[in-house]
Amino acid sequence: MAAQDAAQNALQAHQTHNHRACIEDALATARELCAARGVQLTPIREKVLQIVWRSHKPVGAYEVLDELSRSHKSARPPTVYRALDFLMGEGLIHKIESLNAYLGCVEAGAPHSGQFLICRHCGATEEIVDRKLETALEAAAKRTQFAAERKVVEISGLCARCAR
């Protein structure tokens, strides 16, 4: 029963979600972080960030390029990849390895590893930040003397809406 209630709550939250506020918050956070770090959030980088945040689904580099080229006619793949690399380097977006796509970071600027729930049906992807899971993975790596370079967990399944 609890799992069913949680799924229903997630569905209701998704249906009433104000995505424009997500985008505005992400842009404001990016501006603040970049200013504090003394790095430039150029208009193209900002537009790429906005494109990545336009939905809660990972977006591929060429999708970003298609969208970006509507407002920046001279945009080419290297432009997009440089912007994506910058945004990842500043902790503003994540790369979803299994999809070779990008997703806005819900805890921009806070050091954390990527943990994602990816719906295999609709593509909705949710970042979760579970410090206990991070700690457990770090401990397991340490026990086996494994030098982790990237710590990403991607879980594929069905979101609450698609599971109904």
Residue type present at position 3: A
Residue 50's domain is classified under what CATH number?
Answer: 1.10.10.10
Question: Which residue, among 86, 85, 72, has the nearest Cα to 41 in the 3D structure?
Answer: 86
Per-residue pLDDT of the chain (164 residues; tens, 9 = 90+): 433 443 444 444 445 567 788 899 999 999 999 999 999 999 999 999 999 999 879 999 999 999 999 999 989 999 999 999 999 999 999 999 999 999 999 999 888 888 999 999 999 999 999 999 999 999 999 999 999 888 889 999 999 999 98
Could you give the number of structural domains in the chain?
A: 1
Q: What is the pTM of this model?
A: 0.84
| CA atoms within 13 Å, Cβ hemisphere of 29 | 21
- Give a three-class secondary structure readout of the chain: CHHHHHHHHHHHHHHCCCHHHHHHHHHHHHHHHHHHHCCCCCHHHHHHHHHHCCCCCCECHHHHHHHHHHHCCCCCHHHHHHHHHHHHHCCCEEEEHHHCEEEECCCCCCCCCEEEEEECCCCCEEECCCHHHHHHHHHHHHHCCCCCCCCEEEEEECCHHHHC
What is the domain extent for residue 62?
2-163
Residue type present at position 101: A
